[in-house]
Chains A and B, each alone.
Chain A
Amino acid sequence: MSAQAKLLTAVALLIAVGGGLAFFKSTKLGVPFWEGERVDEWLVEARVSFVATGRDVKARLALPSIAMKRGGGQESGSLDYSFDVENNRGEYTAFWSSGPRDGGQSLYYRVRFKEGLDSGGEPMPAFEKPNPPDIPRLPGSLGAAANSIVTKAKKVTSDPDSLFVNLFKQINSSDASQEHLIVKRYYEKEDRANPGIAMGIELLGLAGVSARPAYGVRLTDQNSGQAPVPLVEYFDGAFWKVHDPADPSKVLDGREIFVWHRGGGALLDDVTGGENSRVTFTVAKDRIPLAMLTDLRNSPLLISTILALPVSERAVFRYIVLIPLGAFVVVLLRNIVGVATLGTFMPVLLALALLEIKPLQGILMFSILVGAGLWFRFLLSRMNLLVVPRVAACVVIVTLLMILMSVVSYQLGIVSGIKITLFPMIIIAWTLERMSLIWEEEGKRNAITQVSGSVFVAVCAYHFMKVTQIQYWAFYFPEMLLILLAGILLIGRYTGYRLSELIRFKSFSNA
């Protein structure tokens, strides 16, 4: 078989397999093919992790009643554990148990719900009037100080709502009164995790308002493994209300936060047979109706692909599936357009970095860092250093520059500057080294052409990767990457002119 025939067979095969799988998935399994047909859903996964100590294991995790009542859309995942959900007057608890176990254990519980619904922290009528709160017993002068705080607060407020706001505003404020400081210090010793909340709840109790801790999850898919957000639930005489003590006057927004547990009691009951237990949450925006997803997860490996993974692992793939797209853009721009770049796949990395920061800021930061680094590099080259120490010196200088930029942009109030630390450091140090070499060897024109070529390719790749439809396909139809691969193979045999060559050879002939 000639090379040509082999290539065409491979291309046809790839397109058939990729397209066929995608077709099967969208028609038979009902995964929407177009991004617009999706339903935005939040997928919140609680992960209970602990180290088993070789005895029988039992663990209880409080579950969000609002999601439980809505029905459908929860599931637990944990190998070889017996699992049950207990319902106690509208309060749900997941209950796992198993025989003796050893080593690190992870239990998962997933809840999904449509975007933009209630936060779950809405005022909830009490079944019965709660018992009057316990009066906290504070020793000696502390009691007096606490009483004085509460009396002062009561004077300027009229109802439990305003009292709540007033007390937590004082706790949050940095210039507190003498009494506050004393009480605060006490709670900081007593409750290391959330001293402010413990203090607020007890002060509310002192004022005759029942209050208890609640826990929420922030709805962003930026960070995986977030700790529960501590909230406070208080009784205003008729309803229980959940508020965020960090922003006490604001009603919880269902688009930003989801209340996982309210109604008192612990989020995670002590795990028997385990140590170091803790709960973390991973949040992901999901775009497939639930029914499809459970179908998919049970389908053969080839079809379920990424969707079969736990959410925390899936979050990583959000970026990984984009790399082939970037590589495709690089191939296109280098082999068909003929843009000169520094290194082959450096633009892809740069484009990934741009996805994390906004492109304009990213390019600005990149130019400043590269420009300044280059200048230092020339200072260094006067000292005739050997290559490796010189690159190392560049890395040190770029690191310092990054710190400086983060601090300066923070001081100026541009918070996004802090994110620059995520900017792949290696790319910049490496760009500097390559660029300065080319600068010396081939002249500044070439160096600047290649760096701007790289930035141009990175911006193109960024815009390509940014298209939501394309992200959607890459993530939900990863088999379509086979079609992309076919495209890359075809370009690999493109023997026509590059666009840049049409310009390069413009003055051809007419000798």
Chain B
Amino acid sequence: MPEASTIEEGKAVNTGRRWWHRWFRTPGELRKLGVVGINMRNARFLLPNNPRRLYELVDNKIRTKALAEEQGMNVAETYGVVRTPHDANRIDKMLGENDAFVIKPARGSGGKGVLVIDSKNGKNFLKPSGVELTPGDLRNHVSNILAGLFSLGGKRDYALIEYRVRPAALLTALSFQGAPDIRVVMLHGYPVMSMLRASTKESDGRSNLHQGALGIGIDIATGITVRAIHHGKPITIHPDLGIALIGVQIPEWDTILRMSVKCQEMTGLGYLGVDIMIDETKGPLMIEVNARPGLAIQMANGIGLMKRLESIVEQHRTHPNVDMHAKIRFAQTHFHAELPPLQAKE
């Protein structure tokens, strides 16, 4: 192992604001900050490390979950899989005694087509927002999933009915409705960067950053939140809930890191994002693996990915056979962030 030292992460090159920062940043500045662009991500990290044939493992949630269960990983319990329109009539049987559940397309992406049901009211189902759905509405949603409305490329799809995660109280406090999830970006099995995605009134329970959800950067070493952004701008307080977003300790951080590394090992993908939710009773649950993780995580952390990725590439080249614990230790010693002051500047 090389000597433990924090990698210089661009903070030193802050030369103050220039007039053009209001509009854009020059390529030179972004390069100094170590920001990775889409082209760079695809050409240097995605294409060489993620062979096409492995995508099927992660694009199909049924397969991902089966893999994860083989590895003894905690996942949201599957109540049933709807494969044909005929199955749609058996949803009641699949659910059994469970009144709260989630229906999602097996091949969906970006939270498309995910329907969360909190409880039942007689025959009808209640969404977290209080909207009531009839059994007919539910069947309709399922048949849309089967027809491929939400899947990549419009292919026919299956609907997955599973346990509705009840996020730990600590996390629900950070989110306006919706269930916040944790994204860990991995390269060669090393955790690189992570963030928490929390919904706002604007994002309507979804955790997509471009729909107005919050991205909250998490320090890899400690699991403490360090920075938050809303529409690309740094904030410190939740815009709807007024709660401080910085300095929150994510529970069971070590479990989360181990889970992420296992996901990399079981899928074989070199570069990936792992999505994890923390249930108040079951602890961290692996939700999905993403073979094309986005770049907004850099904004949430205020740090470019480049230097971390490069140091991992170098470490992986010189130490190809390291175990999970060594990888986590490497990430924790090299990628820890300094905790910013709790108070907002403005």
Contact = CB atoms under 8 A, between A and B. Distances in A.
A387 B149 contact: yes
Nearest to A3: B48
Contacts of A510: 14, 17, 234, 302
Interface string B194-211: 000000000000001011
A505 B112 CA distance: 26
Interface in A472-509: 493-498, 501-509
A388 B149 CA distance: 9
A509 B302 contact: yes
A496 B39 contact: yes
A508 B24 contact: no
A511 B38 contact: no
A498 B38 contact: yes
A446 interface: yes
B33 A506 contact: no
Contacts of A501: 30, 35, 37-38
Interface in B231-247: 232-234
B163 to A, nearest CB: 24
A388 B43 contact: no
A502 B25 contact: yes
Interface in B148-188: 148-150, 154
Contact of B23 (A338, A443, A506, A508): A506
Contact of B302 (A437, A493, A511): A511
Contact of B39 (A388, A495, A506): A495
A384 interface: yes
Contacts of B144: 386-387
Contact of A338 (B21, B38, B40, B302): B38
A442 interface: yes
B298 A508 contact: yes
Contacts of B31: 497
A441 interface: yes
Interface residues of A, number: 28
B212 to A, nearest CB: 9
Given A495-B43, A503-B24, A510-B17, A387 B148 contact: yes
A496 B37 contact: yes
Contact of B227 (A441, A493, A511): A511
A388 B25 contact: no
A335 interface: yes
A502 B33 CA distance: 12
Contacts, number: 97
Contact of B143 (A386, A442, A494, A503): A386
Contact of B30 (A441, A493, A497): A497
Interface in B294-333: 298-299, 302, 304
Nearest to B304: A508
B210 A442 contact: yes
A442 B35 CA distance: 25
Nearest to A501: B37
Contacts of A511: 11, 227, 234, 302, 340
A508 B30 contact: yes
Contacts of B27: 496-497, 502
Contacts of A387: 144, 147-149, 154
Which interface class (under 10, 10 to 19, 20 to 34, 35 or more) fits B?
35 or more
Nearest to A446: B210
A496 B27 CA distance: 8
Contacts of A335: 39
B343 interface: no
Contacts of B302: 508-511
Given A506-B24, A508-B302, A495 B40 contact: yes
B10 interface: yes
Nearest to B231: A507
B22 interface: yes
B26 interface: yes
Interface string B49-85: 0000000000000000000000000000000000000
B44 interface: yes
B17, B31, B112, most chain A CB atoms within 10 A: B112
A212 B27 CA distance: 76
A492 B192 CA distance: 26
Contacts of A506: 21-25, 232
B211 A442 contact: yes
A486 to B, nearest CB: 17
Interface in A434-448: 437, 441-443, 446
Contacts of B298: 505, 508
B71 to A, nearest CB: 32
A507 B234 contact: yes
Contact of B149 (A437, A443, A495, A503): A437
B140 interface: yes
Nearest to A502: B24
A218 B171 CA distance: 76
A494 B11 contact: no
Given A335-B39, A386-B143, A498-B39, A503 B33 contact: no
B233 A507 contact: yes
A442 to B, nearest CB: 7
Contacts of B38: 338, 498, 501
A387, A498, A502, A508, most chain B CB atoms within 10 A: A508
A508 B33 contact: yes
Contacts of A493: 43
Given A338-B38, A510-B14, A511-B234, A502 B149 contact: no
A446 to B, nearest CB: 7
A388 B40 CA distance: 38
Nearest to B41: A495
Given A446-B210, A497-B39, A509 B147 contact: no
A230 to B, nearest CB: 52
A384 B30 contact: no
Contacts of A442: 110, 208, 210-211
B11, B30, B31, B44, most chain A CB atoms within 10 A: B30
B44 A495 contact: yes
B209 to A, nearest CB: 11
Interface of B: 10-11, 14, 17, 21-27, 30-31, 33, 35, 37-40, 43-44, 110, 112-113, 137, 140, 143-144, 147-150, 154, 208, 210-211, 227, 232-234, 298-299, 302, 304, 340
Given A443-B211, A508-B35, 8 more contacts: A387-B144, A442-B211, A495-B40, A501-B30, A505-B35, A505-B298, A506-B23, A507-B233
Instruction: List 3 tightest A-B contacts by C-beta distance, closest first.
Output: A511-B302, A387-B147, A497-B37
